[in-house]
Amino acid sequence: MSGQVIRLSDNAAERIKYIMSKAESSAIGVRVGVKSGGCAGMSYVMEYAKDIKPNEEVIEEKGVKVLIDTKAIIYLLGTEMDYKKEKFSSQFIFKNPNETERCGCGESFKV
């Protein structure tokens, strides 16, 4: 495994490209972080990134740029980011080897 914090599946990269094509021109990529909350303790957060903050991890893979919030790096090491589209919903999926527990709805996790 390379030293990257997160690896992107082809589906995730394609979806991020699509999202970026609709974003304001000032956005340089997407930022992934974690926040406290949800029934298992933590949840993933994604937002447009307009700049690179000090000490952020920057991953450029498959034609997209993903910035990892410094506070989230330790929780996301080794994670694969995927994108799943189903009949009634579509979402980014984080396959995180650090999770010890995930809530039933899949919205939050514990490490």
State the total domains in the chain: 1
Question: What range does the domain containing 87 cover?
Answer: 6-99
pLDDT tens-digit profile of 57-96?
Answer: 999 999 999 999 999 999 899 999 999 998 888 889 999 8
The tally of CA atoms less than 13 A away on the side-chain side of residue 57 is 19
Q: Rg of the Cα trace of the chain?
A: 14
CATH of the domain at 93: 2.60.300.12
Burial of 80 (0-12, 13-18, 19+ CB in 10 A): middle
Confidence of residue 1 (pLDDT cuts 50, 70, 90): very low
> Is 111 part of a structural domain of the chain?
no
Quick one: CA dihedral 95, 15, 46, 61, positive or negative? positive
Average pLDDT, the chain: 87
Express the helix, strand and coil content of the chain in percent, nearest 5 each: 15, 40, 40
Distance CA 14, CA 103 (A): 27
